[in-house]
């Protein structure tokens, strides 16, 4: 029982800090579900879940840190020749 209360409290606090759109009650429900799921997982499954989450976080941060190349709109070659001919 105390585990569900702690899970609900932690889930509520995490939901308020994220910008995913989950409210406090939704976060509390996810916290209870997460606490129940963690209780049923084996130790290797918990380690794999934690490592997978860490790798996913690292990949998203690495992708966000890469500079984005600005896109330059290209004109078709025929349109460029026509505009030069009209200008002359």
Q: What is the DSSP string of 36-53?
A: HHHHHS-HHHHHHHHHHH
Model pLDDT, residue 84 = 57
Rounded Cα distance between 47 and 74, Å, is 49
Asked whether the beta carbons of 32 and 7 are under 8 A apart, the reply is yes
The pTM (predicted TM-score) of the whole model is 0.43
Rounded Cα distance between 60 and 28, Å, is 26
Model pLDDT, residue 42 = 84
Model pLDDT, residue 41 = 81
Which residues of the chain register pLDDT less than 70? Answer: 17-22, 69-70, 72-88
């Amino acid at each position: 029982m105390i585990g569900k209360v702690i899970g609900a409290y932690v889930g509520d606090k995490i939901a308020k800090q994220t910008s995913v759109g989950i409210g406090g009650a939704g976060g509390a429900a996810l916290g209870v579900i997460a606490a129940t799921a963690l209780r049923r997982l084996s130790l290797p499954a918990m380690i794999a879940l934690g490592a997978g989450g860490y790798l996913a976080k690292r990949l998203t941060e690495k992708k966000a840190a890469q500079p984005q190349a600005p896109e330059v709109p290209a004109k078709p070659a025929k349109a460029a020749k026509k505009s030069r001919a009209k200008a002359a």
